[in-house]
Amino acid sequence: MSKDGELYGEGRLEALLGKAADTGLSPEPLVKVVRADVASFAQGTEQSDDSTILSLKVESCAE
């Protein structure tokens, strides 16, 4: 939540992930990008809920 009471929201996350997809980040750096963006959005506002982030790398398998 921001200082103005605005939620981070799915749209903001989808936009961030869309930009990050073009960079080819692996899971760990991608989580760092998301956490940094959420922290920037919150601007130090204490959060009233927890957050869970799961990032997976999917590799195709040859059949």
pTM: 0.80
Check the CA dihedral 25-27-28-34 and report its sign. positive
Structure confidence at residue 36 (pLDDT)? 95
Q: CA-CA distance, 7 to 1, in Å (whole number)?
A: 5
Structure confidence at residue 63 (pLDDT)? 67
What percentage of the chain carries pLDDT values higher than 90?
46
Total domains in the chain come to 1
**Parent domain of 33:** 10-42
49 within some domain = no
Segment 27-52 shows an average pLDDT of 90
31 within some domain = yes
53 within some domain = no
33 within some domain = yes
61 within some domain = no
Single-letter amino acid, residue 53: I
Per DSSP, 29 falls in state H
